[in-house]
Structure formats: structure tokens, C-alpha cells
Structure 1
Amino acid sequence: MRDDEGTPSISRGILRVGTLCVVVVLTAYFLWDMFSEAAALRRLAATAKNYSYTEKCDANGNLVATGDPNCVDLNHYVFVYGPVSRAFRRACSGKAAALLSFEEGKVARTEINTVEKMLQFRARNGVNSPCWPHNSRQ
């Protein structure tokens, strides 16, 4: 078939379908990369690595006098930076207190994103976000 006719040629149709498939695959990959748990953990690790810590904590979030600064109190969480970063969630967040270990498959993506945003807020503003239950916000 000729290109100047009303219907496209078979090769042009195959090219369009191929282009559509490539666009769909690339879009799906970028959406997965933006919203997956692994991507959230990478973003948190990058944020935590660039944060300047002033307090020293052990692996359980208790303040200690020796060692390198590795933790920060974020009101809702005490974040401990290390090979396996951890956060100790406090009851003031509207949820029960808990230990969060930032390893793939061990913590919810929402918790990862919340801690990352709190670290960014603290780094930007020099203060913590207020401590109140989530359900009382207006």
C-alpha cells in the first residue's frame, strides 16, 4: 500500500504499535521506580546520608556518650542512621509505638516516606514538625 492513501501501510502500523509499546513500558518503569518500596528506601538512604547528625545513639535509639553522631529526634520518630537504619515511632504520631527497620519488606512505604519527609523538614527548617495525632489535623 502506498503512504499517500487514506490507510497507513503495514510497516507504518508496525512502527506505531512498536512506539506505543515502548512508551507504555518506559512509563510503567518510571512509575514503578518512583512509587516502589525499593525506590523509597533509596531516597531515604540518600536523605539520611546527607543529613548532619548531632546526637549519638546506640542501635536501640538510646543516647550514648561515645561514637559518631548518628541519630536525630524527629518528635514522631527517633531516627538512627547506620548500616541498617532504624526509626523508633512514638505514640504521638497517632499510631502505636514501634521499631521500624528500614530493610526491604520490613516496613511500609508510607512509613519510609514519612520519615524521609521529616528528615528533609528538619534539615530545611532546623526544627521538627509538631507532634500531634494524624486524625486531629484539620
Structure 2
Amino acid sequence: MRDDEDTPSISRGLLRVGTLCLVVVLIAILFWDMFSETAALRRLAATAKNYRYAERCDADGNLIATGQPNCVDLNHYVFVYGPISRAFRRACSGKTAAMLSFEAGKVARSEINLVDKMLQFRARNGVNSPCGPYDSGK
């Protein structure tokens, strides 16, 4: 088959369709990796693993005297690092107090991202982020 500029050949058309499909798949993978719960949990785990903890807590977020340093108070949350990381949300975040278990399907992606950002802020600046104007009770 001859390839005219006015009428592209079948092979050129298939190449264009294949390229379009490849681009769509790559963009879908990029968005999945950026916005999925699994990706958020991976980012939090990487941040938590590299953080230097100074306090020791039990699995319920209570301070203890012995053991490895494994927790940090982030104002909004008390984050406890472990095989299954947990955060204990305080009322200052504008929500009710709760215990969050960072396992797939157990916590909202927005909570995962919020704790990750607070942990990164604390690691960068050495201080906690403020509770904000929606602080209830202070």
C-alpha cells in the first residue's frame, strides 16, 4: 500500500491507535499510583520508617517508660509506628476522637495523606503543625 498524505495507510492508522492506547494506559497508571489507597499507605510507611522517634508508646498510644522509641505527638494525632501503624485522632482536628489503623480498607485515604503530611512537616520543621482556627475546646 502506498502512503499518501491525504489518505494514511492502515498500518499508520494502527500505529496511531496503538500509541493513543499506550498513552491512555500510562496516564491511568500514573493517576492510580498517585491517588490510590495503596500508594498513600506506601508513602506513609516510607515517611514513618525514616522518622526519628523520641517517645515510647504502647499499642493504644499511651506513653511508656521502656522499649524502642516508636511514637510522636502531632497535635491532631498521636502516631504510633509498628508492624501495623496507628494514629489516635484528637478532637482538635474538627472531628471526633478515634483510633485509625493504617491497613488497607481500614482508614480513609484523606486521613492517611493528612497524617503523612503532618509527619513530614514535623520531620522538616521540628515542630507540629497548629490545630488551626477550627480548634474545638481550646
Under a length normalisation based on structure 2, what TM-score does the superposition of the two structures give? 0.95
**Greater than 6 Å deviation, 4+ residue runs:** none
Q: CA RMSD in A?
A: 1.4
What one-letter code is carried by the residue in structure 1 that aligns with 2:122?
R
Summarize the Cα distance change of 1:31–1:135 in structure 2 as closer, same or farther, 3 Å threshold: farther
Contact 1:93 1:133 in 2 (8 A): no
Deviation for aligned residue 1:132: 3.0
Partner of 2:8: 8
Structure 2 match to 1:110: 110
What's the % identity of the aligned pairs? 82
1:70 paired residue number: 70
How many angstroms does 1:89 deviate by?
0.1
Between Structure 1 and Structure 2, how many residues are aligned?
A: 136
Unaligned segments of structure 1, at least 5 residues: none
* Separation of aligned partners in 2, 1:53 and 1:131: 21
The aligned counterpart of 1:85 is 85
The correspondence of residues 99-138 of structure 1 with structure 2, limited to 5 A, is: 99-132=99-132, 134=134
Aligned partner of 1:60 in structure 2 is 60
Distance in structure 2 (CA, Å) of the matches to 1:135 and 1:65: 30
Other structure's SS at 2:130 match: coil
Shift of 1:30: 1.0
Which residues of structure 2 form unaligned runs of 5+? none
Please report how far the alpha carbon of residue 102 of structure 1 lies from its aligned counterpart in structure 2 after TM superposition: 0.1
Checking the alignment, whether the CA contact within 8 Å between 1:44 and 1:116 is kept in structure 2 is yes
Matches within 5 A, 1:21-60: 21-60=21-60
Distance in 1 (CA, whole Å) between partners of 2:108 and 2:98 is 12
Does the CA-based 8 Å contact 1:94-1:133 persist in structure 2? Answer: no
